């Protein structure tokens, strides 16, 4: 259970925009071990999706600059050629997205689209189709054979996400990146999909990198958590580390906001201020302008990652951590 | 920050290359049209019997036609016809299109459905065919050709205004206006219309080149302007018969037409960037 | 799918009916007595009364319309007073000429526009894209009647490679087709380009990459296939527009197609011919619209579902 699968080292992603660069991710580092569920949480726009997309180099606009290392099974994906990446995508790392309707091509049946991935491995067509049906059954798709012949528009949101999961697990990858997989779904469907992901992890042994803004969801299924704010990973640790002993003011404030609320309201409305626009690479903690404990130093120096325990890391100057509860 | 939005708008106009180039092209045409009497060396009907089909030279810089008329002067006076087409055409289409679009969008109901059907109908008959049918009924001539083209083109405006009106009429500020006792008429023209103006300007700039080209085409086909009008379409038609002896007869009026239409096209591209950011992203 | 086609057909029939009423109404909108309109200015006053009865103009208007319509279904569009021939005979020789020109132009246009448009979309903002955009911008400003004259001037008069006009051999068709092609290429290219750009930005393209497909497969199966749906539909839609665009070209090059026939008859006030040509072209337009709707329904499953309601 302790074998390293993916290690991100000092990953920075800048977007080229009209008037310079936008720093979407800055010096992110973390690792994902085999069979674990690793969650990255943060507000929308904090760069968590950017990390997910840059692992497979799938950022859509092609105006990004990726620095740092993305070590997957001992190979740096950031240095890999396009051809090498093609061999990784789908086969070793699968990825599902936020909106399963947009993510499926409307003019092909869903089964065809799942089959398309399986066929890359030069499997005979008949066998591939059987595999599709098998996958549909594995993701608990009701009436698998008929649904495989349905078009995306004929399926419900939850079913479409099941198709995406089937598609991305069909080639038995070691890692599944799930980018806000349940944000577009109803709460009841959300629970089903999460249970399914967890179940499939146990069954297939696929590690899962879960991107979400929903802390409740993290508490439910994640083993490890990284908390992200404005392009920076501010704290990493096991679920217990983060939920029971949050060390970064941002995480603590989030924890404080969480328990009393229902899921929907558990957003960051209780933290004053707003995320700064990160065009320049100016020094200082990015949370400083909203942090109730900020000192002068926080505005001028980049805090380094500090080890609290074997599993727990935080990026903050405050030695003892904070307890806002 | 303390600049007025108006000045800011002019500043962005200034920076928009397309808009500037297009405007300068169109302004030059307007200038020529206004000072046609001063610029043209001859009247467009002056016949120089001894200089029939003269190639371009110092005296006649664009040459003369088969009747010995100076082509340069004719083209200069032709700018007036082209602008006439642009102004009357756009005016007619705007008045009808905006009125119909506003009324249908605001009131909806059976009239709206009927008009949508008519607009759909005009949409599925090729424009040239319909214009020719209208000309068959109302007869030939420049103004009649403009009317024929406008009968074809108004639907595009009506469609656009109707859609915009329908989306604006449900907005909060219309409710507010109504609760203050504004009449329907006032809501339509003082509340809704000003919000449509920018996209209306963009639509005009996109429709105008087509209106000019179609009207000139009718003249070329002999059902628009009649001789001795210096309409460029008519001039090209006259030039066809002398392609071998005097190719300049057909070349120069066509070039002038391309210049004007290109001017409107380029200005339109610029305007679209300036006024409709949503379209720009496409 | 069946419901969808039936619905389209019904709308098409309604449109055809409306168009036929409009074309029929032309006779009464024309200035002057309908009988003089139909018989032409050459008819003698003494004949008119007899003709009025013969044409059925003394019958109630609905009856006249039904007679007119049923005659047309049997290919009877009346007599051209100028040629002293049945209008149908004139149309019969003109329609194939126009269709032939249109279809060849259409094929060339799409063969050129599809790869160019895709390339422009894929290499957006490259030098190639900028050049293509500017060339098409200029092309849209060039009226086809002038383009035709330039063609004659350069290739027929100066270089003498091709004949000026006529319709006997294939060489006669080269210049008209080139003119039609240059006139239509700009809008087709823009359509292909914008469709392809839309497709390139779709999320399912990212999914296709994430699945592990090669770039070529993604572009071919997901971008090309989907962006060509609208383009294919547009092929059907553009047939009638091309025919009407060919009015001018046929006149310049003296090609005996529908356009030439129509303009000729308008100038000569040959009403039955005008009516016949307009009816044929508009009917063709409506038919092409129905056809394109059906093709769209076949190619794009979303359309079928939005009409039939899916099977959820």
Q: What is the DSSP string of C119-143?
A: HHHHTTTSHHHHHHHHHHHHHHHS-
Do the domain assignments include residue C83?
no
Query: Tell me, what's the pLDDT at B214?
Result: 93
Q: For residue A4, which phi and psi values (nearest 5 degrees)?
A: -75, 135
- Over residues C250-268, mean pLDDT: 88
Task: Indicate whether A308 and A191 sit together in one domain.
Answer: yes
DSSP for C183-198 reads HHHHHHHHHHHHHHHH
Query: Tell me, what's the pLDDT at C146?
Result: 93
pLDDT band, very low/low/confident/very high, at C40 (cuts 50, 70, 90): confident
In the sheet that holds A4-17, the strands lie side by side as: A20-33, A4-17, A64-72, A75-76
Task: Indicate whether A283 and A177 sit together in one domain.
Answer: yes
Task: Indicate whether A246 and A151 sit together in one domain.
Answer: no
- For B251-270, letters b (16+ CB in 10 Å) and e give bbbbebbbbbbbbbbbbbbb
Question: Topology of B5-43+51-279 in CATH?
Answer: MetI-like fold (1.10.3720)
What ipTM goes with this model? 0.87
pLDDT band, very low/low/confident/very high, at A174 (cuts 50, 70, 90): very high
Give the Cβ contact number of residue B202 at 10 Å: 19
Flag the least confident range among A183-197, A308-322, B77-91, C202-216: A308-322
Task: Indicate whether C69 and C110 sit together in one domain.
Answer: no
Task: Indicate whether C130 and C177 sit together in one domain.
Answer: yes
| Domain locations along chain B | 5-43+51-279
Nearest-angstrom CA–CA distance, A77 and A96:
19
Quick: pLDDT tens for B211-240. 999 999 999 998 989 988 999 999 999 988
Query: Tell me, what's the pLDDT at C198?
Result: 87
A117 contacts in chain C (CB < 8 Å): 211-213
pLDDT band, very low/low/confident/very high, at A116 (cuts 50, 70, 90): very high
Average pLDDT over chain A, rounded to whole? 85
Domain that holds residue C21: 8-73
List, in order, residues 6 or more apart from A226 with CB less than 8 Å away. Answer: A30, A38, A39, A40, A41, A233, A235, A236
Q: Which helix (H) or strand (E) holds A210?
A: strand A207-212
DSSP for A258-289 reads STTS-GGG-SSTTS-S-PPP--S---S-TTGG
Do the domain assignments include residue C223?
yes
Task: Indicate whether C274 and C160 sit together in one domain.
Answer: yes
Domain that holds residue A141: 99-172
Structural domains counted in chain A: 2
Task: Indicate whether A77 and A159 sit together in one domain.
Answer: no
Query: Tell me, what's the pLDDT at B99?
Result: 93
Whether C129 contacts chain A with CB within 8 A: no
Q: For residue C256, which phi and psi values (nearest 5 degrees)?
A: -80, 60
pLDDT(C18) > 90: no
Task: Indicate whether A144 and A275 sit together in one domain.
Answer: no
Do the domain assignments include residue A295?
yes
Query: Tell me, what's the pLDDT at A294?
Result: 82
Average pLDDT over chain C, rounded to whole? 84
What letter would DSSP give residue A153? G
Interface touch C211/A86, C-beta < 8 Å: no
Task: Indicate whether C231 and C146 sit together in one domain.
Answer: yes
Nearest-angstrom CA–CA distance, A96 and A179:
6
Do the domain assignments include residue A289?
yes
Task: Indicate whether A231 and A195 sit together in one domain.
Answer: yes
Task: Indicate whether A163 and A114 sit together in one domain.
Answer: yes
List, in order, residues 6 or more apart from B24 with CB less than 8 Å away. Answer: none
> Which of A172, A192, A212 represents a domain boundary (last residue)?
A172
What letter would DSSP give residue A2? -
Nearest-angstrom CA–CA distance, A281 and A240:
33
Task: Indicate whether C94 and C50 sit together in one domain.
Answer: no
Task: Indicate whether A71 and A193 sit together in one domain.
Answer: yes
What distance in Å separates residue C134's CA from the closest CA in chain A? 23
Structural domains counted in chain C: 2
Task: Indicate whether A296 and A282 sit together in one domain.
Answer: yes
C15 or A275: which leads in pLDDT: C15
Measured torsion, CA atoms of residues B52, B53, B54, B60, in degrees rounded to the nearest 10: 90
CA dist B245 → A65, B55, B66, B68, B238 (Å):
64, 9, 9, 13, 12
> Which of C73, C101, C126 represents a domain boundary (last residue)?
C73
Hey, which chains touch C, using 3+ CB pairs under 8 Å?
Answer: A, B
| Integer-rounded Cα radius of gyration of chain B | 22
Flag the least confident range among A215-224, C163-172, C191-200: C163-172
Whether B240 contacts chain C with CB within 8 A: yes
Task: Indicate whether A28 and A119 sit together in one domain.
Answer: no
Task: Indicate whether C41 and C118 sit together in one domain.
Answer: no
> Which of A144, A172, A200 represents a domain boundary (last residue)?
A172
DSSP-H helix ranges across chain B: 5-15, 17-34, 36-39, 71-107, 109-123, 127-138, 142-168, 172-179, 184-186, 193-220, 232-240, 248-275, 277-280
Interface touch A151/C305, C-beta < 8 Å: yes
Parts of chain B with a pLDDT under 70 = 1-5, 276-282
Task: Indicate whether A187 and A275 sit together in one domain.
Answer: yes
Nearest-by-CA chain B residue for C253: B240
In the sheet that holds A224-229, the strands lie side by side as: A93-96, A175-179, A207-212, A37-41, A224-229, A232-238, A313-314, A306-307
Quick: pLDDT tens for A259-308. 554 444 444 445 666 666 666 567 788 888 888 888 888 888 888 888 88
Do the domain assignments include residue C85?
no
Q: What share of chain A is helix, strand, coil (3-state, %, to 5)?
A: 35, 25, 40
Interface touch B221/C247, C-beta < 8 Å: yes
End-to-end alpha carbon distance in chain A: 34
Whether C190 contacts chain A with CB within 8 A: no
Nearest-angstrom CA–CA distance, C156 and B221:
22
DSSP E strands, C138-296: none
List, in order, residues 6 or more apart from B268 with CB less than 8 Å away. Answer: B22, B202, B205, B206, B208, B209
- For A249-282, letters b (16+ CB in 10 Å) and e give bbbbbbbebbeeeeeeebbbeebeeebeebeeee
Q: For residue C219, which phi and psi values (nearest 5 degrees)?
A: -65, -40
Quick: pLDDT tens for A88-103. 999 999 999 888 888 9
Do the domain assignments include residue A322?
no
Nearest-angstrom CA–CA distance, B226 and B278:
43
Query: Tell me, what's the pLDDT at C304?
Result: 59
Please report, for the domain that includes residue A41, its CATH number. 3.40.50.300
Task: Indicate whether C171 and C60 sit together in one domain.
Answer: no
Task: Indicate whether A298 and A196 sit together in one domain.
Answer: yes
Task: Indicate whether C95 and C51 sit together in one domain.
Answer: no
C31 contacts in chain B (CB < 8 Å): 137, 139
Do the domain assignments include residue A21?
yes
Task: Indicate whether C275 and C220 sit together in one domain.
Answer: yes
Are chains A and B in contact at 3+ CB pairs closer than 8 Å?
no
> Which of A149, A172, A195 represents a domain boundary (last residue)?
A172
CB A198 within 8 A of CB A142: no
According to the per-residue pLDDT averaged within each range, which of B103-107, B182-186, C39-43, C227-231 is highest? B103-107
| CA nearest to B177, candidates B158, B200, B195 | B195
Nearest-angstrom CA–CA distance, A313 and A248:
10
Quick: pLDDT tens for A203-241. 888 999 999 988 888 888 899 999 998 888 999 999 998
- Over residues A142-168, mean pLDDT: 91
Do the domain assignments include residue A321?
no
Flag the least confident range among B58-62, B278-282, C166-170, C296-300: B278-282
Do the domain assignments include residue A36?
yes
What distance in Å separates residue B39's CA from the closest CA in chain C? 25
Do the domain assignments include residue A16?
yes
Quick: pLDDT tens for C91-108. 999 999 888 888 999 999
pLDDT(C167) > 80: no
List, in order, residues 6 or more apart from B259 with CB less than 8 Å away. Answer: B25, B29
Interface touch C143/B213, C-beta < 8 Å: yes
Q: Which helix (H) or strand (E) holds C117?
A: helix C87-122
> How many CA atoms lie less than 13 Å away from A178 in the CB half-sphere?
35
What distance in Å separates residue C311's CA from the closest CA in chain B? 30
| CA nearest to C300, candidates C211, C231, C251 | C231
CB C78 within 8 A of CB C276: yes
Interface touch B135/C263, C-beta < 8 Å: no
Whether B265 contacts chain C with CB within 8 A: yes
Query: Tell me, what's the pLDDT at A217?
Result: 83
What distance in Å separates residue A95's CA from the closest CA in chain C? 6
> How many CA atoms lie less than 13 Å away from C154 in the CB half-sphere?
10
Task: Indicate whether C99 and C201 sit together in one domain.
Answer: yes
CB A294 within 8 A of CB A305: no
List, in order, residues 6 or more apart from C17 with CB less than 8 Å away. Answer: none
């Amino acid at each position: 259970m302790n074998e390293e699968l993916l290690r991100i080292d000092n990953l920075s992603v800048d977007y080229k925009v009209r008037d310079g660069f936008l720093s979407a991710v800055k010096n992110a580092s973390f690792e994902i071990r085999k069979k674990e569920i690793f969650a990255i949480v943060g507000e929308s726009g904090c760069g968590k999706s950017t990390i997910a997309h840059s692992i497979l180099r799938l950022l859509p606009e092609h105006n990004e600059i990726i620095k740092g290392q993305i070590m997957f099974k001992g190979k740096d994906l950031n240095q890999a050629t396009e051809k090498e990446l093609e061999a990784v995508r789908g086969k070793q790392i699968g990825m599902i997205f936020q909106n399963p309707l947009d993510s499926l091509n409307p003019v092909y049946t869903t089964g065809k689209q799942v089959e398309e991935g399986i066929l890359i491995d030069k499997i005979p067509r008949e066998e591939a189709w059987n595999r599709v049906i098998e996958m549909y059954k594995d993701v608990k798709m009701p009436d698998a054979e008929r649904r495989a012949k349905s078009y995306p528009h004929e399926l419900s949101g939850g079913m479409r996400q099941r198709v995406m999961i089937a598609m991305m697990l069909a080639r038995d990858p070691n890692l599944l990146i799930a980018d806000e997989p349940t944000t577009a779904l109803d709460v009841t469907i959300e629970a089903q999909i999460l249970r399914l992901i967890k179940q499939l992890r146990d069954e297939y042994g696929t590690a899962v990198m879960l991107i979400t803004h929903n802390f409740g969801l993290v508490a439910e299924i994640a083993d490890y958590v990284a908390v992200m704010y404005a392009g920076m990973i501010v704290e990493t640790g096991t679920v217990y580390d983060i939920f029971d002993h949050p060390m970064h003011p941002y995480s603590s404030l989030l924890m404080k906001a969480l328990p009393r609320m229902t899921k929907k309201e558990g957003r960051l409305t209780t933290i004053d201020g707003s995320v700064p626009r990160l065009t320049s690479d100016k020094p200082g903690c990015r949370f400083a302008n909203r942090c109730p404990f900020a000192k002068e130093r926080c505005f001028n120096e980049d805090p380094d990652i500090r080890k609290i325990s074997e599993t727990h890391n935080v990026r903050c100057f405050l030695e003892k951590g904070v307890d806002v509860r | 920050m303390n600049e007025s939005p108006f000045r800011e708008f002019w500043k962005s106009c200034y920076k928009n290359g397309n808009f500037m180039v297009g405007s300068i092209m169109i302004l030059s045409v307007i200038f020529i049209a206004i000072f046609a009497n001063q610029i043209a060396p001859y009247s467009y009907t002056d016949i120089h019997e001894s200089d029939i089909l003269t190639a371009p030279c110092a005296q006649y810089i664009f040459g003369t036609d088969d009747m010995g008329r100076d082509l340069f002067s004719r083209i200069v006076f032709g700018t007036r016809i082209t602008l006439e087409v642009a102004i009357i055409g756009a005016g007619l289409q705007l008045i009808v299109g905006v009125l119909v679009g506003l009324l249908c969008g605001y009131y909806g109901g059976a009239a709206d459905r009927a008009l949508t059907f008519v607009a759909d109908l005009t949409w599925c008959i090729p424009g040239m065919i319909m214009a020719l049918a209208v000309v068959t009924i109302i007869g030939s001539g420049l103004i009649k050709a403009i009317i024929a083209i406008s009968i074809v083109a108004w639907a595009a405006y009506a469609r656009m205004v109707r859609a915009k009106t329908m989306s604006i009429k449900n907005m909060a500020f219309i409710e507010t206006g109504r609760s203050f006792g504004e009449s329907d008429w006032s809501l339509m023209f003082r509340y809704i219309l000003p919000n449509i103006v920018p996209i209306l300007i963009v639509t005009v700039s996109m429709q105008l080149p087509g209106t000019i080209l179609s009207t000139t085409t009718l003249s070329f086909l002999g059902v628009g302007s009649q001789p001795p009008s210096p309409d460029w379409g008519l001039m090209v038609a006259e030039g066809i018969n002398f392609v071998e002896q005097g190719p300049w007869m057909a070349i120069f009026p066509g070039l002038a037409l391309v210049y004007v239409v290109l001017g409107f096209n380029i200005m339109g591209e610029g305007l679209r960037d300036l006024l409709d950011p949503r379209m720009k992203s496409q | 799918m069946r419901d969808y086609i039936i619905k389209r057909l019904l709308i098409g029939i309604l449109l055809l009916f409306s168009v036929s009423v409009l074309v029929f109404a032309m006779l009464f909108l024309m200035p002057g007595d309908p009988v003089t309109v139909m018989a032409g200015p050459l008819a003698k006053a003494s004949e008119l009364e007899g003709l009025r009865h013969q044409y059925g103009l003394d019958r109630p208007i609905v009856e006249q319309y039904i007679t007119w319509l049923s005659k047309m279904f049997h290919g009877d569009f009346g007599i051209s007073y100028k040629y002293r021939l049945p209008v149908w005979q004139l149309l019969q020789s003109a329609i194939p000429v126009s269709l032939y020109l249109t279809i060849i132009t259409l094929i060339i246009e799409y063969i050129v526009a599809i790869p160019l448009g895709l390339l422009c979309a894929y290499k957006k903002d490259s030098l190639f894209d900028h050049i293509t955009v500017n060339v098409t911008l200029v092309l849209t400003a060039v009226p086809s009647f002038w383009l035709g004259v330039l063609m004659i001037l350069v290739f027929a008069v100066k270089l003498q490679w091709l004949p000026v006009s006529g319709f006997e051999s294939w060489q006669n068709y080269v210049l008209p087709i080139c003119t039609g092609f240059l006139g239509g290429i700009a809008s087709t290219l823009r359509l292909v380009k914008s469709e392809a750009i839309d497709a390139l930005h779709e999320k399912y393209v990212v999914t296709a990459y994430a699945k592990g497909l090669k770039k070529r497969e993604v572009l071919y199966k997901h971008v090309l296939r989907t962006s060509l749906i609208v383009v294919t539909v547009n092929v059907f839609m553009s047939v009638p527009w091309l025919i009407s665009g060919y009015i001018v070209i046929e006149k310049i090059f003296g090609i005996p197609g529908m356009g030439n026939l129509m303009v000729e008859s308008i100038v000569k006030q040959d009403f039955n011919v005008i009516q016949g040509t307009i009816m044929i072209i508009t009917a063709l337009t409506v038919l092409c619209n129905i056809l394109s709707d059906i093709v769209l329904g076949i190619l794009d499953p979303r359309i079928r579902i939005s009409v039939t309601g899916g099977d959820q």
